[in-house]
Structure 1
Amino acid sequence: MQHLPTDVRAAIRFFAFYVANGTLEIDLLEDIDYKPHLMASGSTLEMVFAVFTNVLQVDGSGEVTNEGDAQYRAAQWIRAYCDPAYRVDPPFAAWETELHGP
């Protein structure tokens, strides 16, 4: 069984840290206390991680090529969830918000 490449595991670990620490995309989320919203329902936090991992790209060597883009798209999802007046640009494609698994 293969493990996720180290770079992918690191990207997910840092993303989780930034979300939990309240420091994800500070410019986009600086005035939004998003943590209570994410903890109100497991499905909300689940979608944040789905967007991040769906957008995350890895090259043939297992190196992450767009960690900042993946974090930003997840931050846009959080912002839109917490602030109904915010419009995501560009709008999310279906594959970005798709939930995988059983």
Structure 2
Amino acid sequence: MSRLPDDVRASLRFFAFFLANGTVDMDLLDGIDYRQALMQDGSALEMVVTIFTNILDVDEAGLVTNADLAQDRAAQWIRRYCDPSYVVDPPFEPWEVELAGP
């Protein structure tokens, strides 16, 4: 079995760091301490990771081509979760929020 490419693992590691540190997309989430809200509901954290990984694109060389977009879309979901008046633009496509696995 093959391991995930280094660049993919690095993107996941950085996203986890920013998420736990409260620094995901500082412009969009300025003033919103989303960490406690995500930890109270495991499904919310699950969806944030799902969106990030569903959007993450990897080229043939194993390099991530859109980590910023993946993080931005996850941040939009967080913002909507914490602020129901926020409108996600463009709206999420079904494949972006589709949970993987059983």
Is TM-score (shorter-chain normalized) higher than 0.5? Answer: yes
Aligned to 2:100: 100
Q: TM-score when scaled to structure 1?
A: 0.99
1:57 is aligned with what amino acid? D
Alignment partners' CA distance in 1, 2:23 and 2:98: 25
Aligned to 1:21: 21
Alignment partners' CA distance in 1, 2:95 and 2:101: 14
Q: CA RMSD in A?
A: 0.5
The Cα offsets for residues 35-78 of structure 1, whole Å up to 9 and x where unpaired, read as 11100111110000000000000000000000000000000000
Structure 1 runs, 4 residues or longer, greater than 4 Å off: none
Aligned to 2:78: 78
Shift of 1:83: 0.2
Partner of 1:28, secondary structure, is coil
Aligned to 1:56: 56
Structure 2: runs of 5 or more not aligned: none
Aligned to 1:10: 10
Structure 1: runs of 5 or more not aligned: none
Identity %: 64
Alignment partners' CA distance in 1, 2:33 and 2:83: 11
Q: TM-score when scaled to structure 2?
A: 0.99
Partner of 1:17, secondary structure, is helix
Aligned length: 102
